[in-house]
């Protein structure tokens, strides 16, 4: 067992241990869960110290036979792209637990099951980014739906059951298409090199273009639903509105990244030719997502719906960067996944605190918060500025890399995407004006500002947002070699060649 | 190139100070403004030390650089966080920190009654830091950080009193209009990277001859769009008037002296691109020409003293932009006008703030009148600024504006004639509306309609105004002495590459200018001589009505962008719900209906299940029989 | 007597049982009808054993009897419990699965 496996299994073991704590001892359960995830977060940081940035292949590789008859292995390993996403997950989980300490109190089931679900989810999230066996990935990919389904349905608000079912069925539909492709790929491998689910071996297959296109679509639609890309997005706003803020953070911040991660790891790596064929279509969808999500966000009256649609716009940027097939676009998209995770976390957590205090998620119910709750207003403001990619904050670096990378290959798409930054100003500033500025509307006079626990929870997120804006180099250094390799393996070279500096 | 470790402190000091003030909260209320002012003064000192050191070096060694760290490096896209202080940026550094410090001092008194004074100073310091980054960045991307940083500071300061919804809206409007400009800057950077593989000034300048004229024109036009957003130039000018919602020191610092001139800086900095892109340069001229007249016309009809001054700012920046469009010779005059304008406009804005301070925050000039005798010092300094802006020799504006008019005529041909006439006309209107402001405010009958007499402002406010007034008297003479600034900037903008024939001798141009200025003054005096009413007259000419409505700029934006945009959003919301989500819901409801139909078979009666089983068994047997037979 | 007659008898008994299950409401009678069907099947098994001249059919018949006995034990217990709680042994009254 190497460190990666330990990091992955730790949350699951903690979940098992927590199962023995009596459910009425809710405070102890919360503390135990927080401590466990904190340990995981710290352990995952050690993954970085042992990670060799100069190696572009998988590291922390481990492979054990799982189902021998089908040559399925429990095979894990990480490269730069997956490492940063694992870090994103492990860092976000303790923050979410701390930030939403009382979120589980009013749920349909006990707090105990809430935290067990969160911990199981964490294991699955790490697993899905670490799996190097296609079948194992598929298992994690589908298994992730289960805890989220219960987290939305059991602890959410409003139309939670319907939203949970919609989320589950929509995702299952995508998963099913992917399963068909997985089996197809397995069969082709069986004919050519012997049955295997190993990713590196699958990448060497020679597949004729028609089959490749079909298999590609199976994977891509599953990931486009997960990401979500226009027009497969309609489950996200419902799920985000129904879920608790903490669940929404994990859903939008980490789970949806599996979609864009899958596009890099599977769509492009396994089917380079099909990727080339479908790139114009995908870039178009991505551009539509950017603009459409932004317009939808402008029209939202509900604060959670707003954040959900801004995310759809941002996922458009990520997808555009990936399929631009340039080093800048690929690295930028990967960095964007991380940055979006943190900035959405900040937005959702602060919005969650605002909603909890006010008892409403309607934007119009707020007003003048800057005078009542200055600290909360400031955190919301900074999170919002990160959402509109203000230079100096982390999202700017990634958004600009994506745009510049896209421009060198698809100028028109990049130009339209750039218009998104004006819309971003609108969809962030309008709610900021309505919630933070203006006269203090009735019902808001006595709202309490953030308490110490909340401040401690949000501080690291804000810190990461600011520091990564000025000094993204450490993360880019991890991402760059892998991103470059993905682009080269797909058969592309950067239009703007490297100049010796 | 020489390096200097001091540059980073220019930015870091105000940035940290701003962060400290915001994080310390109420604890810093008692000392926050003092620290902010000291920090700003220290930045000025650093700038001044660098300036002295720069002067002692030879022309080609004057620029200093400092590399801080590698900011973004992906593939061929490499951007360092590096600073560059050359002859052009030092002008701005001194202007920003110098005027900035004076305005800090002024604000201590001006904002003394405001509960949020600490926050105000935090924003001011943030602005100073961002603006310095803007002028010190050695690449377009570094500049962009400062560019949006000043936009943020401007947003925060315009909306400083955001409990008033109109002010909050003004702040938002400014940010969004600036963002439209930022699209231009983003695209310019992208095109530059795609063309040159580099985004630093030095790198692009080095390779500029390898680029096609289309690429350069595209970059130039995008940079012009950026400049239009930040400098309130046509067609992105509409935010500046509303931006006067901010406290008056902000209007003086950000929306008169420094931030709004960033567009001029951008174009001057990009001279190597514009010099090779004649179409872009022509567009610069057109934009500058339109805006200088546009702003001047609006200025004639405004009753709000700050909005009249804002319109004037717009018009004066139009002059500068026009000058930058005139090619190598124009840049130095644009920068000269920028510097002199920084002095006299800031002094007039602070003077207006002083008047407001004494008049219970009244901004309507129709309710002023005869204030001169109650506030003599303010009136005197305002008068000096007035003489400077209309261009009376030997005040600052004469030297800088006269040069622009002269150069415009010298552009040659029809172009030169048109530009020259436009600038002359602008000068006349400027003289008219500024005279109007001065008469309505300081002379004539007292119209404020309450017993309390206006009082002169405290010394803390008057000293900065006085110092700025000295600038508005002397700066023009000093900068143009022996063509000092022109030679100073030579290494950056290469002004001696070409030389135009003189269209008219300079003395003739000066005389013409003075004549039109005199005409403008005379019209204003004859119109506003004698007693005025406290209300604005209603039955005025169509032109005046249009000017009062800012020449329909907001109406145009609303009917072309805002309303269609809102309709679009509504429609997209409906389409999303009805069509896209509708399809998903249709799949769901089809399954549900099918399920409930089939459910009626499951009626719970054992006997009907048995019957179904029997039927099923018989059907199976029949099937087997059919298959085997 | 032709051996096919046993099969005809078995078919008639099975049909009677099946019709009884479908049309009678009394749980005891339904139960007896099921027994009738099982025994009809037994008769068929034994007959086939005779026709084929081996013991396999007879063995299956024994199995069926054992299963039938078990079924009677469980079934009667259920019927008694239902009768105790509902004071009725009509199978139509126990249509709780519908909801």
Question: Which residues, in sequence order, are bridge partners of residue A302?
Answer: A362
pLDDT tens profile C53-87: 889 999 999 999 999 999 999 999 988 988 888 88
- Structural domain spans, chain C: 4-87
- Structural domain spans, chain B: 557-594+602-628
CA distance A483 to A486: 5
Q: Average per-residue pLDDT in chain A? A: 90
Looking at domain C4-87, its CATH architecture is Orthogonal Bundle (1.10)
Name residues 270-329 of chain A within 8 A of B (Cβ): 292, 295-296, 298-299, 326-328
The mean pLDDT of B590-599, rounded to a whole number, is 88
Contact across the interface for B183 and A471, Cβ inside 8 Å: no
Percent of chain B predicted with pLDDT > 70: 99
Contacts of residue B610 in chain C, CB cutoff 8 Å?
Answer: 18, 21-22
CA distance B172 to A13: 50
Contact across the interface for A496 and B77, Cβ inside 8 Å: yes
Residue B267: which H helix or E strand, with range?
Answer: helix B262-269
C-alpha to C-alpha distances, B451 to B6, B257, B359, B619, nearest whole angstrom: 54, 35, 11, 106
Could you say which of A170, A407, A421 has the minimum Cβ distance to residue B190? A407
pLDDT tens profile A213-245: 999 999 999 999 998 898 888 899 989 989 989
pLDDT tens profile B477-486: 888 887 778 8
Contacts of residue C92 in chain B, CB cutoff 8 Å?
Answer: 605-607
CA distance B582 to B589: 10
CA distance B565 to B588: 33
Could you say which of C91, C97, C98 has the minimum Cβ distance to residue B607? C91
Q: Would you say residue B388 has pLDDT above 70?
A: yes
Residue-level pLDDT at A329: 93
Residue-level pLDDT at A251: 92
- Inter-chain CB pairs, B–C, below 8 Å: 30
**The token pair that represents A238 in the structure block:** 């419902």
Residue-level pLDDT at A501: 38
User: Strand, helix or coil at A496?
Assistant: coil
Band of pLDDT at residue B572, cut at 50, 70 and 90: confident
Sign of CA dihedral A271, A277, A278, A284: positive
Contact across the interface for C97 and B602, Cβ inside 8 Å: yes
Contact C55, C49 (CB under 8 A): yes
Contacts of residue C23 in chain B, CB cutoff 8 Å?
Answer: 607
Contacts of residue B611 in chain C, CB cutoff 8 Å?
Answer: 22
Give me the residue label for tokens 């004066």: B316
Range of the domain at A301: 271-494
Segment among A323-337, B31-45, B409-423, B493-507 with least mean pLDDT? B493-507
Could you say which of B602, B606, B611 has the minimum Cβ distance to residue C91? B606
C-alpha to C-alpha distances, B309 to A309, B365, C9, C58, nearest whole angstrom: 41, 12, 114, 113
- Inter-chain CB pairs, A–B, below 8 Å: 159
Contact across the interface for A418 and B163, Cβ inside 8 Å: no
Residue-level pLDDT at B45: 93
Q: Is B413 exposed, middle or buried (0-12, 13-18, 19+ CB in 10 A)?
A: exposed
The distance of A104 to chain B (nearest Cα, Å) reads 30
**Beta carbons within 10 angstroms of residue B539's beta carbon:** 6
C-alpha to C-alpha distances, B544 to B297, B302, B356, B549, nearest whole angstrom: 9, 9, 25, 9
**The token pair that represents B625 in the structure block:** 């029989």
Q: Would you say residue B142 has pLDDT above 90?
A: yes
CA distance B476 to B111: 31
What's the gap between Cα A40 and its chain centre? 18
Left if phi > 0, otherwise alpha if psi is -120 to 50, otherwise beta: which for B38? Answer: alpha
DSSP letter assigned to residue B205: H
Q: What is the number of alpha carbons within 13 Å of residue A404 lying toward its C-beta?
A: 34
pLDDT tens profile A395-407: 999 999 999 999 9
User: Strand, helix or coil at B360?
Assistant: coil
Contact across the interface for A392 and B189, Cβ inside 8 Å: no
ipTM of the complex: 0.91
Band of pLDDT at residue B562, cut at 50, 70 and 90: confident
Name residues 596-625 of chain B within 8 A of C (Cβ): 602-607, 610-611, 614
pLDDT tens profile A165-215: 999 999 999 999 999 999 999 999 989 888 889 988 888 888 888 999 999
pLDDT tens profile A454-487: 999 999 999 999 999 999 999 999 999 999 999 9
Give me the residue label for tokens 């169509």: B542
CA distance B401 to B399: 6
CA distance C14 to C9: 8
C-alpha to C-alpha distances, B130 to A283, B84, B142, nearest whole angstrom: 35, 15, 10
C-alpha to C-alpha distances, A191 to A206, A396, A440, B194, nearest whole angstrom: 11, 47, 70, 45
The distance of A234 to chain B (nearest Cα, Å) reads 6
Contact C39, C13 (CB under 8 A): yes
Chain A: residue nearest B176 by CA? A425
Contact B386, B438 (CB under 8 A): yes
The distance of B614 to chain C (nearest Cα, Å) reads 8
Q: Would you say residue B497 has pLDDT above 60?
A: no
Q: Would you say residue B196 has pLDDT above 60?
A: yes
Give me the residue label for tokens 């099982």: C38
Chain A: residue nearest B70 by CA? A473
The mean pLDDT of B192-196, rounded to a whole number, is 90
Short-list A11, A418, A489, CA closest to A273: A489
User: Strand, helix or coil at A62?
Assistant: strand
DSSP assignments along B292-340, one per residue: HHHHHHHHHH--BHHHHHHHHHHHHHHHHHHHHTT-HHHHHHHHHHHHH
The distance of B116 to chain A (nearest Cα, Å) reads 10
Chain B: residue nearest A429 by CA? B172
Classify strands B2-3 and B64-74 as parallel, antiparallel or unpaired.
Answer: parallel
Short-list A139, A111, A99, CA closest to A123: A139
DSSP assignments along chain C, one per residue: --THHHHHHHHHHHHHHHHHHHH--BHHHHHHHHHHHHHHHHHHHHHHHHHHTSSHHHHHHHHHHHHHHHHHHHHHHHHHHHHHHHS--BTTT--GGG-
Band of pLDDT at residue A290, cut at 50, 70 and 90: very high
Could you say which of B603, B604, B607 has the minimum Cβ distance to residue C22? B607
The mean pLDDT of A274-288, rounded to a whole number, is 93
Contact across the interface for C91 and B604, Cβ inside 8 Å: no
DSSP letter assigned to residue A73: E
Question: Which residues, in sequence order, are bridge partners of residue A71?
Answer: none
Best to test chain A binding among B11, B76, B158, B572 (most A CBs inside 10 Å):
B76
Residue with more model confidence, B143 or A104: B143
Short-list A108, A129, A96, CA closest to A8: A129
Short-list B85, B12, B15, B18, CA closest to B47: B85
The number of residues in chain A equals: 501
Band of pLDDT at residue C1, cut at 50, 70 and 90: low
Band of pLDDT at residue B220, cut at 50, 70 and 90: very high
CA distance A359 to A362: 9
Query: For chain A, what is the domain count?
Result: 1
The mean pLDDT of A407-427, rounded to a whole number, is 92
Classify strands A72-78 and B2-3 as parallel, antiparallel or unpaired.
Answer: unpaired
Position A10 in a domain:
no
Percent of chain A predicted with pLDDT > 70: 99
CA distance B136 to B335: 16
Position A332 in a domain:
yes
The number of residues in chain C equals: 99
Query: Is A467 an interface residue toward B (CB < 8 Å)?
Result: no
Sign of CA dihedral B234, B235, B238, B243: negative
The mean pLDDT of A135-140, rounded to a whole number, is 94
Band of pLDDT at residue A500, cut at 50, 70 and 90: very low
Contact across the interface for C18 and B614, Cβ inside 8 Å: yes
Best to test chain C binding among B601, B604, B618 (most C CBs inside 10 Å):
B604
Short-list B372, B399, B373, CA closest to B383: B372
Q: Would you say residue B585 has pLDDT above 60?
A: yes
The mean pLDDT of B28-39, rounded to a whole number, is 89
The distance of A84 to chain B (nearest Cα, Å) reads 16
CA distance B393 to B249: 28
Backbone phi, psi, residue A68, to 5°:
-65, -35
Position A87 in a domain:
no
Contact A77, A59 (CB under 8 A): yes
pLDDT tens profile B433-454: 999 888 888 888 888 777 777 8
pLDDT tens profile B360-371: 888 888 888 788
**The token pair that represents A315 in the structure block:** 């996922």
Band of pLDDT at residue B499, cut at 50, 70 and 90: low
pLDDT tens profile B230-269: 999 988 888 888 888 888 899 888 888 888 999 999 999 9
Provide the b/e sequence for A108-127 (b: ≥16 CB within 10 Å): eebbbbbbbbbbbbbbbbbb
Short-list B330, B328, B310, CA closest to B320: B330
């Amino acid at each position: 067992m190497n460190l990666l496996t330990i990091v992955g299994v730790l949350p699951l073991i903690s979940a098992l241990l927590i199962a023995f704590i009596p459910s009425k001892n809710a405070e102890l359960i919360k503390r135990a869960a927080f401590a466990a995830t904190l340990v995981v977060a710290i352990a995952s940081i050690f993954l970085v110290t042992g990670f060799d940035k100069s190696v572009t292949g998988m590291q922390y590789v481990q492979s054990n036979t799982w189902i021998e008859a089908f040559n399925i292995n429990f095979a894990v390993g990480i490269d730069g792209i997956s490492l940063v996403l694992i870090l994103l997950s492990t860092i976000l989980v303790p923050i979410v637990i701390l930030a939403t300490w009382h979120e589980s109190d009013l749920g349909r089931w006990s707090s105990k099951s809430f935290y067990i679900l969160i911990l199981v989810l964490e294991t699955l999230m790490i697993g899905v980014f670490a799996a190097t066996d296609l079948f194992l990935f598929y298992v994690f990919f589908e298994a992730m739906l289960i805890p989220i389904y219960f987290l939305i349905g059991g602890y959410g608000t409003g139309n939670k059951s319907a939203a949970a079912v919609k989320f589950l069925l929509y995702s299952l539909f995508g998963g099913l298409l992917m399963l068909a492709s997985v089996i197809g790929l397995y069969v082709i491998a069986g004919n050519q090199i012997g049955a295997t689910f190993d990713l590196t071996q699958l990448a060497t297959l020679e597949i004729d273009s028609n089959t490749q296109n079909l298999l590609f679509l199976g994977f891509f639609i599953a990931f486009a639903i997960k990401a979500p890309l226009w027009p497969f997005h309609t489950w996200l706003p419902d799920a985000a509105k129904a879920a608790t803020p903490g669940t929404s953070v994990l859903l939008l911040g980490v789970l949806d990244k599996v979609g864009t991660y899958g596009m890099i790891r599977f769509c492009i790596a396994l089917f380079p030719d099909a990727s080339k064929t479908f790139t114009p279509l995908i870039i178009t969808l991505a551009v539509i997502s950017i603009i459409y999500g932004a317009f939808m966000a402008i029209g939202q009256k509900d604060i959670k719906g707003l954040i959900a649609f801004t995310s759809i716009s941002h996922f458009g940027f990520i997808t555009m960067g990936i399929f631009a097939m340039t080093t800048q676009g690929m690295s930028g998209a990967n960095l964007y996944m991380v940055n979006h995770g943190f900035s959405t976390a900040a937005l959702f957590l602060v919005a969650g605190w605002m909603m909890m205090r006010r008892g409403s998620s309607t934007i119009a119910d707020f007003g003048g918060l800057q005078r009542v709750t200055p600290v909360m207003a400031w955190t919301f403001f900074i999170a919002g500025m990160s959402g509109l990619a203000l230079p100096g904050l982390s999202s700017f670096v990634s958004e600009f890399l994506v745009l510049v990378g896209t421009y060198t290959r698809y100028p028109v798409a990049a130009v339209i995407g750039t218009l998104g930054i004006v819309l971003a100003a609108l969809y962030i500033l309008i709610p900021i004006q309505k919630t933070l500025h203006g006269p203090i509307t009735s019902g808001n006079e006595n709202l309490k500002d953030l308490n110490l626990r909340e401040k401690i929870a949000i501080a690291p997120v804000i810190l990461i947002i600011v520091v990564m804006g000025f000094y993204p180099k450490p993360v880019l250094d991890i991402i760059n070699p892998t991103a470059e390799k993905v682009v080269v393996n797909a058969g592309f070279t950067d239009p703007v060649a490297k100049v010796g500096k | 190139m020489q390096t200097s470790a001091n540059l980073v402190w220019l930015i870091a000091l105000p940035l940290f100070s701003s962060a400290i003030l915001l994080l310390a909260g109420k604890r810093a209320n008692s000392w926050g403004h003092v620290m902010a002012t000291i920090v700003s003064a220290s930045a000025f000192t650093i700038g001044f030390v660098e300036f002295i050191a720069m002067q002692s070096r030879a022309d080609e060694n004057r620029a200093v650089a400092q590399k801080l760290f590698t900011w973004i490096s992906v593939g061929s896209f490499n951007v360092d966080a590096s600073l560059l202080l050359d002859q052009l940026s030092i002008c701005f550094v001194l202007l920003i920190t110098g005027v900035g410090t004076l305005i800090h001092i002024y604000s201590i008194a001006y904002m003394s009654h405001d509960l949020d004074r600490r926050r105000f100073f935090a924003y001011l310091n943030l602005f100073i830091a961002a603006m310095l980054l803007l002028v010190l960045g050695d690449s377009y991307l570094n500049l962009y950080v400062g560019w949006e940083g000043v936009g943020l500071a401007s947003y925060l300061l315009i909306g400083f009193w955001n409990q008033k919804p109109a002010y909050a809206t003004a702040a938002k409007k400014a940010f969004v209009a600036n963002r439209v400009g930022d699209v231009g800057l983003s695209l310019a950077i992208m095109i530059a990277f795609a063309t040159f593989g580099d985004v630093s000034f030095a790198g692009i300048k080095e390779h500029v001859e390898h680029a096609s004229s289309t690429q350069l024109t595209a970059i130039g036009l995008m940079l012009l769009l950026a400049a239009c957003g930040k400098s309130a130039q046509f067609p992105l000018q509409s935010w500046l008037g509303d931006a006067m919602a901010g406290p008056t020191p902000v209007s003086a610092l950000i929306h008169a002296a420094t931030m709004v001139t960033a567009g001029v800086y951008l174009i001057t900095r990009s001279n190597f691109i514009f010099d090779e892109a004649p179409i872009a340069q022509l567009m610069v001229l057109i934009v500058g020409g339109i805006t200088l007249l546009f702003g001047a016309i609006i200025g004639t009809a405004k009753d709000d003293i700050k909005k009249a001054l804002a319109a004037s700012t717009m018009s004066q920046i139009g002059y500068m932009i026009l000058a930058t469009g005139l090619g190598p010779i124009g840049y130095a005059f644009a920068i000269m006008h920028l510097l002199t304008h920084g002095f006299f406009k800031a002094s007039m804005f602070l003077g207006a703030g002083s008047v407001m301070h004494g008049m219970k925050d009244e901004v309507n000039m129709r309710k002023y009148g005869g204030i001169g005798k109650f506030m003599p010092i303010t009136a005197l300094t305002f008068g000096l600024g007035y003489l400077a802006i209309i261009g009376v020799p030997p005040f600052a504006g004469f030297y800088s504006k006269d040069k622009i008019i002269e150069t415009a005529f010298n552009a040659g041909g029809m172009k030169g004639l048109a530009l020259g006439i436009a600038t002359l006309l602008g000068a006349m209107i400027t003289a008219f509306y500024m005279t109007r402001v001065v008469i309505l405010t300081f002379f004539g009958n007292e119209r404020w309609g309450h017993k309390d007499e206006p009082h002169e402002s405290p010394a803390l406010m008057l000293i900065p105004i006085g110092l700025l007034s000295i600038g508005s008297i002397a700066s023009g003479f000093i900068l143009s002495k022996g063509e000092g600034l022109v030679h100073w900037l030579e290494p950056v903008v290469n002004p001696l590459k070409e030389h135009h024939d003189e269209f008219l001798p300079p003395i003739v141009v000066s005389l013409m200018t003075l004549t039109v200025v005199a005409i403008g003054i005379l019209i204003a005096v004859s119109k506003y001589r004698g007693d005025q009413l406290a209300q604005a007259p209603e039955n005025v000419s169509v032109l005046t009505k249009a000017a009062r409505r800012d020449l329909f700029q907001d109406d145009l934006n609303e009917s072309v962008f805002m309303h269609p945009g809102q309709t679009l959003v509504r429609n997209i919301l409906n389409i999303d719900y009805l069509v896209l989500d509708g399809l998903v819901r249709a799949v769901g409801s089809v399954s549900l209906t099918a399920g409930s139909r089939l459910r009626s078979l499951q009626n719970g009666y054992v006997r009907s299940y048995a019957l179904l089983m029997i039927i099923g068994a018989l059907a199976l047997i029949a099937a087997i029989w059919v298959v085997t037979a | 007597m032709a051996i096919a007659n046993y099969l005809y008898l078995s078919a008639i008994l099975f049909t009677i049982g099946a019709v009884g299950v479908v049309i009678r409401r009394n749980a005891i009678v339904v139960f007896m009808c099921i027994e009738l069907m099982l025994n009809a099947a037994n008769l068929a098994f034994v007959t086939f054993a005779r026709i084929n001249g081996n013991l396999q059919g007879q063995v299956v018949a024994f199995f069926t009897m054992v299963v039938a006995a078990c079924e009677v034990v469980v079934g009667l217990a259920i019927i008694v419990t239902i009768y105790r709680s509902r004071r009725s042994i009509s199978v139509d009254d126990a249509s709780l699965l519908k909801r």
